[in-house]
A and B are shown apart, each in its own frame.
Chain A
Amino acid sequence: MAQISIKVDGVEYADAVEPRTLLVHYLRDQVGKTGTVVGCDTSNCGSCTVHLDGTSVKSCTVLAVQADGHEVTTIEGLAKDGELHPMQQAFHENHALQCGFCTPGMVMQSIDLLRDNPSPTEEEVRHGLEGNLCRCTGYQNIVKAVLAAAESAPVRIGTAGGTL
């Protein structure tokens, strides 16, 4: 077992983990952050996307021990005082989700996308979301939501710092 300390959605955790434990499993099973989900075993789907120190990562490709001393934001850490994050709001407004399974990953990736490129074209949004699969929406409303979020206001990212 390895000892790690990680800040998740603003709260410090100190835990013992098996060295082989993936960050996504640590988040779900030990911290109880079940909002972050697992959709594949080949790092293709992006369902597990979180922010590690403010940048999106597929949490199934990171070991929990690699996140030791770092800060993780999940979908559950975005809304503040009952107010949805602008990206969550944009997904809701634009009907960018159906079953919602891909949504946590999509939202986290979309925030990162706008952090890199605050005014993307439709094409850039489509390419920026290439690593996240959705089987329900056909992507059109997801793309629309991201473009709407880019239009509406500078998107703040959760606890992990910085404003666009």
Chain B
Amino acid sequence: MTVTEERPVTEVGSPRRRKEDGRLVTGRTRWTDNISLPGMLHLAMVRSPMAHATITSIDVEAAKSSPGVVAVFTGADLGDEQGSLPCAWPITADQKAPPHPSIAVDTVNFAGEIVACIVARSAVAAKDAVELVDLEYDELPVVVEMAAAAEGGNLTHPDLGTNVSATWVFDSAEAGTGGNVEDAIRDAEVLVERTFRQQRLIPAFMEPRSVVCDPTGEQTTLWSATQIPHILKLMLALTCGISESKLRVIAPDVGGGFGGKLQVTPEEVITLVVSRRLGKPCKYTETRSESLLAGHHGRDQIQTLTLSATRDGIVTGLKVDLLADMGAYLGLVTPGVPILGAFMYNAIYKFPAYRFECRNIFTNKNWTDAYRGAGRPEATFAIERLMDELAVEIGVDPLEIRERNWIKHEEFPFSTVAGLEYDTGNYEAATARAKELFGYDALRAEQRERRESGDPVQLGIGVSTFTEMCGLAPSRVLGALSYGAGGWEHASIRMLPSGKVEVITGSSGHGQGHETAWSQIVADRLGVAFDDVEVLHGDTQISARGLDTYGSRSLTVGGMAVVAAADKVIEKARPIAAHLLEANADDLEFTGGKFNVRGTDSSIGIGDLALAVFAAHNMPDGVEPSLDAEATFDPENFSFPHGTHLCAVEVDTETGETKIRSYVCVDDIGKVVNPLIVEGQVHGGLVQGIAQALWEEAVYDDSGTLVTGSFVDYLVPSAADLPHFTTDRTESPSSTNALGVKGVGEAGTIASTPAVVNAVVDALRHLGVRDIEMPCSPHRVWSALQHLDGDGSSSGADTPTEKTYVADDADPSHNAQLSGEDAGRAAADHGGLG
């Protein structure tokens, strides 16, 4: 047989170079935009420049007669066929949502919304005609700021009667997972109150989204640069009223996603509907400007936080009031993004009381949805910034305050105040290793020297001891959260007669290295050679069942489905092996790809069995001639990776410029399948989180126009902006899956943002700066230093407010951070404490 005998002792754990690379480094790629079909037509979208307006007239005649143009469609032309774009996560029974047509019909609700679609014989001809569509609008009042929108005033959707889509609450006292936070706040010896703003971000995957639809033949085939071919197939069928069995969706090579391609897009619906109308293959590929303008955005929350603690810095309660900007519509999982954060504010700490309330707000901006981390980066930022603030109040090192509050390694499994059960972790070990690699004490000494000498370049040290929940998700938990689908994953394995193995996965890779990692897992499990395993994915006709790739779920859910399918193959092979070896099935052991009769040298390899089964000449009675197996895996719990990230930042107090001097992270993601791939995920994740801290922001002006609509203004960092990272790992295997693995795809992004901002603030705190609003651009840092007000607090931007109450201050009005009104309340509440 061709099954090779030579291989590492175990594939899992070895730094295999990736199988995917061959085609990618040579340009033999299948991006959606590469696809060209006979007679294919090209689409271009006409987009509204208005953020909120009634469409009073559309004249498409000039566009229709432009050279090469075949047709022009408006929202009215598509009619019911375009349906309403789906939202799969109604977080409350009374959640409000506007209809969401792919092409706007009467009104436009954000700048960039599609108002017409040009179909032409070439992409250039389609684009040329965009300018020729003549639209007239009646302007409506534009709602841009979510805080104002939450209070009423102008409405994004007047028909809904409110800008609040839903209010969602978790209260540990009600849930029975902890105490009452109001009691904790009333009894607090120390209170830290802060407001943080999570600016709006853009996923900015490098491959612009593209979709090709071929309606010829019985079945319609749609290729899309998507993370979610399976979900997309179902949702397009439901949205457009097409039989699910008549639709095939293919995600060919996909150039990054980061949540940004976790969507059912208007462009996909339009391409599908238009190509079916015209009976011709159609392609739409967005420009980068369109991608930034109309691909969904991420983050955009305002967090109002109250942390209560004892004088020793032991946290007694945390209250979170969140405003989350939905933008103008609810996308596939838009309303659920803040909810994914709700379970993470208590992070690695033992908080006895917790309350989270979130209001989802409509504004006339592009809609937000999943972006790497989705909800968890926001939560982690908030708590890691707060822990630093608490450390300052108590007067201890930020690592010390964390240690006083974190779950000790011997306390796992640990039930949290948010109702989760953390399986394993070792915060002590990761922190100790990170401190050592970072040279923590030496950097603190240098920081002291620079402060004392009044160096214009100050040094700050930022800490982030994060955890997150990923591996989405146990289906019953998703059900309890009203999500519209489950969280399982599917895999099947085909044992080919030549000894090769095909693994079909419901995960849909777009850069993560599934083909390599899945091959490693199967090579070990079935004892076959790494190179003999072929991984197939991303085509609903090949991979019929799946829930795709997001939420760091591939390995912990999809990988486990692969393991389960492989185990079924072995169990199917066992009676056949026993028959051929003339042995009792119970006397067989399966190791190294072979069934051995215990105590003898009689054996048969799995590849030989596959050939024997293919011939089927000599099967045991009643056994089907197939080794192929499939499995669906539903995880019993989330996965809880954690880590300690330490960042040193130099801040030039004269220019406001920041420079990351060193960055060390020690992540604990349990067992590792491929350390090379893991490290790559960490690096990429770190940079997206650092970019939120320092550079990136989607900015809208007062009229609702996106100001950062190109890579000139939306500052995706380059190699020159970034330092070399020092990464390491500790290993607390997960106890909830057989591989002992945890997710890693989002960890870096979740951890790094607070590490960087904590460092920037730490550099300037002795000068009176208490916060810098993200992104901590040179301008913001410089402004914070210029506008130090009387109480020595400044943040460089408008949103943040802060209040701190320390009970042993005899007269709260002496506490500089307390505003008059709050001082009164605090004095009343805490009257007995001074």
B-contacting residues of A (Cβ < 8 Å)?
18, 28, 33-42, 44-45, 47, 74-76, 78-79, 84, 88, 91-93, 95, 97-104, 107, 122, 125-127, 129-143
Contacts and interface: CB of A to CB of B under 8 A. Distances in A.
B683 A127 contact: no
Interface stretch (B351-359, B591-599, B674-682): B674-682
B255 A100 contact: yes
A130 B442 CA distance: 32
B680 A141 contact: yes
Contacts, number: 174
Contact of B683 (A88, A93, A137): A137
Contact of A99 (B511, B712, B719, B722): B511
20 contacts: A35-B29, A41-B287, A44-B710, A45-B711, A74-B27, A76-B28, A78-B26, A91-B21, A92-B17, A92-B21, A98-B684, A99-B24, A101-B206, A104-B27, A126-B718, A134-B719, A136-B511, A137-B680, A137-B683, A138-B687
Nearest to A142: B719
B65 to A, nearest CB: 20
A42 B25 contact: no
B222 to A, nearest CB: 19
A129 B711 contact: no
Nearest to B17: A92
Nearest to A28: B34
B718 A131 contact: yes
Contact of B680 (A18, A98, A107): A98
Do most interface residues of chain A lie in helix, strand or loop, or is the interface mixed?
loop
B27 A102 contact: no
B718 A132 contact: yes
Given A130-B720, A136-B684, A91 B25 contact: yes
A143 B420 CA distance: 40
A76 B255 contact: no
Contacts of B124: 18
Contact of B710 (A41, A136, A143): A41
A75 B722 CA distance: 26
B17 A99 contact: no
A150 B748 CA distance: 29
Contact of A126 (B206, B510, B684, B720): B720
A122 B719 CA distance: 10
B207 A88 contact: no
B656 interface: no
B41 to A, nearest CB: 15
Nearest to A100: B24
Interface in B251-299: 253-256, 258, 287-289
B711 A141 contact: no
Contacts of B26: 35, 75-76, 78-79, 84, 88
A34 to B, nearest CB: 4
B724 A40 contact: no
A92 B676 CA distance: 11
Nearest to B710: A42
B725 interface: yes
Nearest to B254: A99
Given A42-B288, A45-B288, A135 B31 contact: no
B604 interface: no
B25 to A, nearest CB: 4
Given A18-B124, A40-B288, A98-B512, A141 B31 contact: no
A103 B24 contact: yes
B254 A127 contact: no
B29 A139 contact: no
Interface in B741-798: 748
Given A92-B18, A130-B720, A133-B718, A39 B25 contact: no
Contacts of A129: 718-720
A4 B710 CA distance: 32
Contact of B31 (A37, A79, A140, A143): A37
Contact of A134 (B31, B206, B287, B686): B206
Interface in B351-396: none
A99 B510 contact: yes
Interface in B31-48: 31, 33-34
B138 interface: no
Given A35-B26, A40-B711, A137-B684, 4 more contacts: A18-B124, A39-B208, A103-B25, A126-B719
A134 B756 CA distance: 21
B807 interface: no
Contact of B25 (A38, A100, A138): A100
Contacts of B256: 98-99, 101, 135-136
Contacts of B208: 38-39
Given A34-B34, A107-B25, A135 B289 contact: no
Contacts of B20: 100
Contacts of B288: 39-42, 45
Given A39-B288, A41-B288, A99 B255 contact: yes
B716 interface: yes
B250 interface: no
A44 B719 contact: no
B205 interface: yes
A130 B710 CA distance: 17
B98 interface: no
B513 interface: yes
A19 to B, nearest CB: 12
Contacts of A104: 27
